[in-house]
């Protein structure tokens, strides 16, 4: 299955799941909780207050070497948005990709997913735990603060 087919399939519209494709074109669906949605909203508010330029994106699609992946929230600079606009899926990752961890996600899975985003040009990835704790990563590993100049408290 290709991403364009996913977008056009009426049976896949308005599902309470996040949809991604794996490297074999198979659909992966993850149910989202209201806590998950609340954290997404809090992250978007935080980014809107601190990142004057660029665009905040929810569940944007990124074409990776392991299929189309969809971070919960992302931020792309004005330059990124001018280059890729509404291209679907993005061939490169926005500068910041954020995943809100679900109970079904393992640490290994999240590390793998971040590696895919970094391979597509992400500068920073955040992992938000079920308690709202934010961990910040660059391609060099876990960091104590954001390299993008975003101020974070200990948790959301």
Quote the DSSP letter at residue 102: P
Residue 80 has pLDDT above 70, yes or no: yes
More confident residue, 4 or 129: 129
Per-residue pLDDT reduced to its tens digit, 59-69: 899 999 998 99
Is pTM beyond 0.85? Reply is no
Q: 102 falls in which pLDDT band (50, 70, 90)?
A: confident
Q: Which two tokens stand for residue 106?
A: 């393992």
Closest CA to 81 of 67, 66, 96, 100: 96
Q: Say if domain 32-143 classifies as CATH 3.90.1570.10.
A: yes
The whole-number pLDDT of residue 119 equals: 98
Percent of the residues in the chain that have a pLDDT greater than 90, as a whole number: 62
User: Look-up: residue for tokens 């004005």?
Assistant: 78
List the domain boundaries for the chain.
Answer: 32-143
- Per-residue DSSP letters for 129-144? -TT-BEEEEETTEEES
The whole-number pLDDT of residue 15 equals: 55
The whole-number pLDDT of residue 56 equals: 97
Residue 57 has pLDDT above 80, yes or no: yes
Residue 136 has pLDDT above 80, yes or no: yes
Rounded distance between C-alpha atoms, residue 29 and residue 37, angstroms: 16
More confident residue, 2 or 139: 139
């Amino acid at each position: 299955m290709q991403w364009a087919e996913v977008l056009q399939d009426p049976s896949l519209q308005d599902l309470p799941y996040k949809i991604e494709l794996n490297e074999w074109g198979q659909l992966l669906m993850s149910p989202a909780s209201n806590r998950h949605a609340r954290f997404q909203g809090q992250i978007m508010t935080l980014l809107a207050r601190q990142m004057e330029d660029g665009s905040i994106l929810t569940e944007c699609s990124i074409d990776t070497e392991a299929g189309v992946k969809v971070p919960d929230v992302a931020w792309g600079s004005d330059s990124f948005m001018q280059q890729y606009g509404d291209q679907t899926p993005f061939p490169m990752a926005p500068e910041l990709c954020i995943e809100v961890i679900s109970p079904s996600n393992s640490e290994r899975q999240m590390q793998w997913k971040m590696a895919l985003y970094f391979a597509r040009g992400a500068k920073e990835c955040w992992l938000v735990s079920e308690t709202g704790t934010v961990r910040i990563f660059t391609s060099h590993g876990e960091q104590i603060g954001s390299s993008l100049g975003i101020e974070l408290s200990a948790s959301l």
